[in-house]
Amino acid sequence: MSQKIINIANISQQGAAPALPPVLEEPSGSLLDMRSRPLQDLRISLTDRCNFRCVYCMPRSIFDKDHAFLPRASLLSFEEIIRITKIFVAHGVSKIRLTGGEPLLRKHIEKLIEQLAQLKTPDGRLLDLTLTTNGSLLGKKAQALKDAGLTRVTVSLDSLDDATFKRMNDADFPVSDVLEGLAVAHDVGLDSIKINMVVKNGLNDQEIVPMARYFKDSPFILRFIEYMDVGASNGWQMNEVIPSAEIVKRIAAEMPLEKVLAGNPSDTAERWRYLDGGGEIGLISSVTQAFCHSCVRARISTEGVLYTCLFASSGFDLRSLMRDGKSDLEISSALAHLWRARNDRYSELRSAQTDGLAPSSRKIEMSYIGG
């Protein structure tokens, strides 16, 4: 099927500056959208670049040497990131995830983390600050990240088999370096480290059970992610998704599991624990069990465009508000206005259609918006 692929340069124009509401209002610490979902989590993309070319995210055929990544001046500066984060926090955000692209490629990231780690919610709590990485630079950077105030980290790893992993990252990157990064992260004291494994049928589904076996009885929590139709470049098809129910079935056949009762309703992962006390796994079933009803996440792209859904085709340019000299109160009021108008539920609508939604050529790429 041929699809029009959007160039990042075009994407960056898809975020028009939001209009300022006629009446400005101080943030109250809580904002609800049209479906009564509070604004609680913020994912910040620090770069659209990556040293991997995962086939499900940045296929090399599209993200090749001619691909135009964002110029440096487009990126939000650390000052701008801190400023906008404070505004989100004043509206109720208490959890921040740094992502990308590969966030550890962003120069001096530890300086940003140092400042984010000092921010507090209106009732005086430190933020829950975490980061998702492909792990390639974790061995080198874990100590500096920990010293800067990062407490948690999520590491993506799709296979323990080198040949399969290299086929997926398409950058000749070996499994051993990611495992080494994980060990260092654990040694320096980063806790509740999670491992994200995207499962793509026919590519790495044979690795489901070996991965479960390997991380059982370890300090790491393995989470299986259903392959999603995010972006417009990965050529997603429903038959490439292995449903979470099937993943549980395959693991439980060898290592019996029981479901853990839901804790936080906004958690994206369903938790299952091993009956023998060997820890637990998580399942993120964005395709087969959409969780839009509890989606409390906003995303800011590398250049400061706000997206209220991972599958959005356009966003709102917060950077231009900052660079045009708007006050915190004006930006905060614009954000309140946007969130209250939010009605996104792409995955639920997709689930309602047995053969998936018609692919859109304008969905934003995950490497740009942040996973």
**Residues found near ligand SF4 in the complex (CB under 6 A):** 50, 52-54, 57-58, 100-102, 134, 156, 291-292, 295, 297, 309-311, 344-347, 367
Residue 344 contacts which entry, ligand SF4, ligand SAM, none (Cβ below 5-8 A, type-dependent)? ligand SF4
Of 282, 256, 262, which Cα lies nearest the Cα of 193? 282
CB atoms within 10 A of CB 1: 5
Residue 291 contacts which entry, ligand SF4, ligand SAM, none (Cβ below 5-8 A, type-dependent)? ligand SF4
Backbone angles phi, psi at 240, to 5 degrees: -95, 0
Residue 325 C-beta: closest distance to ligand SAM, Å: 32
Nearest position to ligand SAM, beta carbon: 371
- Using CB under 6 A as the binding rule, the residues of this chain from 67 to 126 that contact ligand SAM are 99-100, 102
Choices 66-74, 228-236, 245-253, 295-303 (CB under 6 A): range interacting with ligand SAM: 228-236
Contact with ligand SAM (CB under 6 A) among 132, 204, 233, 301: 132
Contact with ligand SAM (CB under 6 A) among 78, 173, 215, 227: 227
Choices 182-190, 315-323, 343-351, 363-371 (CB under 6 A): range interacting with ligand SAM: 363-371
Closer to ligand SAM at the Cβ: 91 or 194? 194
Closer to ligand SF4 at the Cβ: 12 or 367? 367
Residue 282 contacts which entry, ligand SF4, ligand SAM, none (Cβ below 5-8 A, type-dependent)? none
Closer to ligand SF4 at the Cβ: 263 or 325? 263
The rounded Cα 122 to chain-centroid distance in angstroms is 25
Closer to ligand SAM at the Cβ: 295 or 366? 366
Closer to ligand SF4 at the Cβ: 46 or 112? 46
Check residue 371 for interaction with ligand SAM (CB under 6 A). Answer: yes
Check residue 129 for interaction with ligand SAM (CB under 6 A). Answer: no
Residue 223 C-beta: closest distance to ligand SAM, Å: 9
Rg (CA), the chain: 20
Closer to ligand SAM at the Cβ: 134 or 285? 134
Reduced 3-state DSSP string for the chain: CCCCCCCHHHHHHHEECCCCCCCCCCCCCCCECCCCCECCEEEEECCCCCCCCCCCCCCCCCCCCCCCCCCHHHCCCHHHHHHHHHHHHHCCCCEEEEECCCHHHCCCHHHHHHHHCCCECCCCCECEEEEEECCCCHHHHHHHHHHHCCCEEEEECCCCCHHHHHHHHCCCCCHHHHHHHHHHHHHCCCEEEEEEEEEECCCCHHHHHHHHHHHCCCCCEEEEEECCCCCCCCCCCHHHECCHHHHHHHHHCCCCEEECCCCCCCCCCEEEEECCCCCEEEEECCCCCCCHHHCCEEEECCCCEEECCCCCCCEEEHHHHHHCCCCHHHHHHHHHHHHHCCCCCHHHHHHCCCCCCCCCCCCCCHHHHCC
Closer to ligand SF4 at the Cβ: 330 or 348? 348
Residue 140 C-beta: closest distance to ligand SAM, Å: 16
Check residue 228 for interaction with ligand SAM (CB under 6 A). Answer: yes
User: For 8, how many CA atoms within 13 A lie in the half-sphere containing its CB?
Assistant: 24
Closer to ligand SF4 at the Cβ: 301 or 347? 347
Residues at the interface with ligand SAM (CB under 6 A): 50, 56-57, 99-100, 102, 132-134, 156, 196, 198, 225, 227-228, 230, 234, 366-367, 371
